[in-house]
Amino acid sequence: MAQAERPLSDHPTAAESADARTTLAGLGEAAVLARIFPRLPAADAALLGPGDDAAVLAAPDGRYVVTTDMLVHGPDFRWEFSTPTDLGWKAAATNLSDVAAMGARPTALVVAIAAPQDTQVDVLEGVADGLRLACAELAPGCGVVGGDLSTSDVFTIAVTAFGDLDGRRPVRRSGARPGDVVAVAGELGVAARGIALLFESGLEAARGTDAHAVARQLRPMPPIALGVVAADAGATAMMDVSDGLALDARRLARASVVDIEFDALGDDQLRGGEDHSLLATFPADVPLPDGFLRIGAVAPGVGRLLVSGSVFDELGGWDPYAQWDGRLS
């Protein structure tokens, strides 16, 4: 909002301490951007990167894949548990996972951040580090091509991710056919165990109990490269398991108008969300690609989920509107 008419606000602390001079308000937008830019990963697909009104990206096969996901302090992450680098990693990973679930190779991200004015600039540097580390580990060649900075009392990060299908058809949720095998790549229920431990006992104690689960909650490790592998192997349907296997499997069953029958699976595996594993269906005569494990089969049906032969209706999952109680700790 252009408000040159309004007087500059008085930031008494800005003159008083070194700490205040390194806040976003103390530095101002241009200086903050100058600190962040060098830490961001470059994108191989960028024909024109950050710094102009918009970026220009290559789409060699004439199409591109797009998804967006916003993380808000409170319902989606908490500074009590996450470092800035954890947050940058998670914001990248959750979006990369949606690109992979289409059978696409992630190419680029744009990132909008709204942060409180008294945020230290090293918080944003840490977020940039997390974006860079996640791209390097999960999707080499993918980078940040643009962004926006604003101010808000609630720290918020919105990432939009892009991908290239390299000539492949996109793998949708609606392509599962009776007789297909149902398979998963990645862990199930681990990130949910992590957040349960964090709420129960706090960061240090939770790490003592199950460091792996806490690490996966704070820095998810979705099997990004396996999205393309599954598509090449002939996957008929695929999706990112973000809200819990049971809930997401029923979404896939409904989109495909089939029933999905799981073999025996534990309750934690069925309900725990945020692992960002890949759920896919393959023709029965196709060897499952390395990294995918068979967990069931597709049957003719009307969009139901069955586990060990019984209809499974208690789906779990997480609805921020209906379920978040507003607590921050």
Q: Could you tell me which residues are annotated as the binding site for Mg(2+)? A: 53, 67-69, 98, 148, 240, 243
* Residue 300 identity: P
Select the residue interacting with a copy of itself from 75, 141, 179, 301 (CB under 8 A): 75
Report in angstroms how near the CB of residue 285 gets to a copy of itself at its nearest.
Answer: 26
- Is 301 or 316 the residue whose CB approaches a copy of itself more closely? 316
Which residues are annotated binding-site positions for substrate?
A: 76, 274, 318
- Site for a copy of itself (CB under 8 A): how many residues? 104
- Is 125 or 274 the residue whose CB approaches a copy of itself more closely? 274
Q: Which helix (H) or strand (E) holds 183?
A: strand 181-185
Contact positions with a copy of itself (CB under 8 A) in 107-126: 108, 110-114, 117
Compute the distance between CA of residue 285 and CA of residue 299 in angstroms, rounded to an integer.
Answer: 16
Instruction: Record the tokens describing residue 53, joined without a space.
Output: 């009104």
Report in angstroms how near the CB of residue 146 gets to a copy of itself at its nearest.
Answer: 6
E-assigned strands of 186-325? Answer: 237-241, 258-262, 277-282, 292-300, 305-307, 310-311
209 binds a copy of itself (CB under 8 A): no
- Is 167 or 309 the residue whose CB approaches a copy of itself more closely? 167
Compute the distance between CA of residue 221 and CA of residue 90 in angstroms, rounded to an integer.
Answer: 9
313 binds a copy of itself (CB under 8 A): no
Q: How far is CA 265 from the centre of its chain?
A: 24
Select the residue interacting with a copy of itself from 16, 17, 34, 66 (CB under 8 A): 66
192 binds a copy of itself (CB under 8 A): yes
Residue among 241, 221, 255 at smallest CA distance from 295 = 241
Compute the distance between CA of residue 148 and CA of residue 164 in angstroms, rounded to an integer.
Answer: 24
Site string for a copy of itself, 16-35 (x = CB under 8 A): --------xxxxxxx-x---
273 binds a copy of itself (CB under 8 A): yes
Contact positions with a copy of itself (CB under 8 A) in 131-190: 145-154, 156, 158, 160-163, 165, 170, 172-174
Cβ neighbourhood burial of 118 (10 Å; 0-12, 13-18, 19+): middle
Contact positions with a copy of itself (CB under 8 A) in 210-269: 238-240, 243-244, 255
Segment contacting a copy of itself by CB under 8 A, of 72-80, 132-140, 176-184, 284-292:
72-80
CA distances to 62, 108, 121, 142, 300 from 50, in Å? 22, 12, 19, 14, 49
Contact positions with a copy of itself (CB under 8 A) in 284-303: none
Compute the distance between CA of residue 145 and CA of residue 46 in angstroms, rounded to an integer.
Answer: 7
